[in-house]
Amino acid sequence: MATEIKVPTLGESVTEATVARWLKKVGDAINVDDALVELETDKVTLEVNAQAAGVLTEIVAEEGANVDVGALLGTIGEGSGAAVAPAAKASPAPAAPAAAAAAPAATAPVMPAAAKIAADNGVDTGAIAGTGKDGRVTKGDVLAAIETPKAAPAPAPAPKAAPAPSGPRAKADLEERVRMTRLRQRIAERLKEAQNTAAMLTTFNEVDMTNVIAMRNQLKDAFEKKHGVKLGFMSFFVKACLVALKELPAVNAEIDGTDLVYKNYYDIGVAVGTPQGLVVPVVRDADKLSFAGVEKTIGELGKKARDGKLSMEDLSGGTFTISNGGVYGSLMSTPILNTPQSGILGMHKTMDRAVVVNGKVEVRPMMYLALSYDHRIIDGREAVTFLVRVKECIENPERILLDV
């Protein structure tokens, strides 16, 4: 009896996904809970696991296909991989050899650069035998097909006139066109949405990191020994932001139609760069966590982000966001709001700079801070005050413990 592989529920407000990669081939033996296929949504990448053992007998949704929740991806039949493989090979035997040879060529995947060259030169990729992985038609295959029949077919010269006026695409054969992932498309949409809907403004300040660095250097070994996690700077900034958010609730609020929604909870998003793109997992109830709790949570979320294991729950919600561009060497930037939130703090690289302290020039480790905010809900006074509070808490960490 065949078992259908279907698109699972993807999470709140997510109804569609893209088939990113099949992890099994038709004829492969399947065990229960084996990962079969990766689906990519606009928020996360997830694996669909086998609900039954058997053999993958059919792939309905090929890589790159868009599928809805509940759509059929493929089927698992009874048997083992060794038993099914010969049967699959035997089925085309009765067909004529010419037909058997033509079938793979007609359905062979075509690489983007190859498709472009073929279109420009009027070449039918269906008649080309691909030499790439899994029978893919490569750029070299298309170029070889163009050169070989050059003298024979008459239609070839006519399409060749078309690429001449292309201008900017003159080096198309040196380019590769790759479809944007769903996550990258969603990132683009959300960033543009933030610019289009919010009255976004950024204010700056700088913070002397001397005392925080000294405290961290003094206590980091004892902290790690007791809590099993390294003491970083992010927990200090999360705690400093909590002090400022409680004093200035507008920064922790959002606009809903004609209403202002003030949130009496603090779910802090921490922006994380991954190979797939920027994601913002959320530290829930950050105000109820200790420094060690914040560091552990951020570490766990960061690992899940890098491994592509974040769930919808990890990414949903969030009342305020912190982005640390300093880990990449950024000296200053203007972060974009993570809508519908009204504020985002940008941290940057700590650098030794000459500053005036008590009338004397000293070299201190300084960091620029940036707060981007929605001016529709947050006034300039509140934005500046917020940054000043963060600055005060970082320069005098005891303020965090005493909540002053």
Known catalytic residue at 379: yes
pLDDT of 69: 84
- Written as six digits, the tokens of 272 are 């994380």
157 alpha-carbon distance from chain centroid: 45
pLDDT of 83: 42
Residue range 323-347, pLDDT digits in tens: 999 888 999 999 999 888 999 999 9
Q: What is the Rg, in whole angstroms, of the alpha carbon atoms belonging to the chain?
A: 28
**If DSSP codes are grouped into helix, strand and coil, which group holds residue 33?**
coil
Residue range 42-90, pLDDT digits in tens: 667 778 888 888 888 888 888 888 888 888 888 888 876 544 444 444 4
Which amino acid belongs to residue 145? A
Task: Give the orientation angle of helix 210-227 with respect to helix 380-395, to 10 degrees.
Answer: 70
* Cα separation, 240 vs 261, whole angstroms: 22
pLDDT of 142: 72
* Cα separation, 162 vs 211, whole angstroms: 67
First to last CA, the chain: 68
Partner residues linked to 370 by β-bridges? 204, 346
> How crowded is residue 32: how many other Cβ atoms within 10 Å of its Cβ?
10
pLDDT of 118: 75
27 alpha-carbon distance from chain centroid: 32
pLDDT of 111: 67
**If DSSP codes are grouped into helix, strand and coil, which group holds residue 290?**
coil
Q: Which of 134, 285, 379, 403 is catalytic?
A: 379
Where do we find the tokens 């204010």?
A: 203
pLDDT of 154: 47
Q: Which residues contact 24 (CB under 8 A, 6 or more apart)?
A: 30, 34, 36, 37, 56
**If DSSP codes are grouped into helix, strand and coil, which group holds residue 98?**
helix
**Would you call 256 exposed, middle or buried from its count of C-beta atoms within 10 A (0-12, 13-18, 19+)?**
exposed
* Cα separation, 367 vs 347, whole angstroms: 7
Pairing outcome for strands 268-270 and 320-324: parallel
**If DSSP codes are grouped into helix, strand and coil, which group holds residue 285?**
coil
**Apex CA 111: angle with CA 143 and CA 63, to 5°?**
160
pLDDT of 232: 92
**If DSSP codes are grouped into helix, strand and coil, which group holds residue 263?**
coil
pLDDT of 47: 82
pLDDT of 167: 53
Residue 314 · residue 269 · CB < 8 Å = no
Report the chain (404 residues): mean pLDDT per 10 consecutive residues. Answer: 82 74 87 86 77 88 84 83 43 44 50 71 75 69 67 48 54 78 75 84 96 94 94 94 95 92 94 79 94 94 84 86 91 91 95 94 96 95 96 92 74
Q: Which residues of 156-169 are buried (b: 16+ CB within 10 A; e: fewer)?
A: eeeeeeebeeeeee
* Cα separation, 288 vs 285, whole angstroms: 6
Q: Which of 33, 68, 285, 375 is catalytic?
A: 375
Known catalytic residue at 227: no
